[in-house]
Amino acid sequence: MNIGRHQTNERTSKVVVHNNVAYLCGQVAADAEADIIEQTQTMLAKVDELLMSVGSDSTRMLTATIYLKSMDDFAAMNLVWNAWVPSGHAPARACVQAAMARPALLVEISVTAAC
């Protein structure tokens, strides 16, 4: 059984690949002080980078789980999400309200994609 772990530290791997499926750890914004639009944009840019690093991309997403600090940000987050997801390639998705690890964070995403 071949399992590839990428960008690993003592607590987590940013990506784990098994059987040609990439499992991304939760990704958050580059700037936690930004608004929901910018946090979502930079978070999704990180997803793009990680998927690319293992030979995948957003057209190969299987699932996405989005965590919002407040459901008041749902519509604004979806504006960015809808522009980012390639037409015809929407993954199975869940979006829930959740407490964030740092108070300034507004959004986090976990993605699974085919490689």
Mean confidence (pLDDT) of the chain = 96
Question: What digits encode the pLDDT tens for the residues 17-51?
Answer: 999 999 999 999 989 999 999 999 999 999 999 99
* Per-residue exposure over 26-39, b if at least 16 CB sit within 10 Å of its own CB, e if not: ebbbeeeeeebeeb
- Number of structural domains the chain divides into: 1
Distance of CA 19 to the CA centre of its chain: 20
For residue 94, the domain's CATH number is 3.30.1330.40
Q: pTM for the full model?
A: 0.94
Question: What digits encode the pLDDT tens for the residues 50-91?
Answer: 999 999 999 999 999 999 999 999 999 999 999 999 999 999
Question: What digits encode the pLDDT tens for the residues 96-107?
Answer: 999 999 999 999
Residue 87: domain span: 3-114
CA–CA distances in Å: residue 36 to residues 5, 110, 111: 30, 17, 19
Helix (H) or strand (E) holding 50: helix 36-53
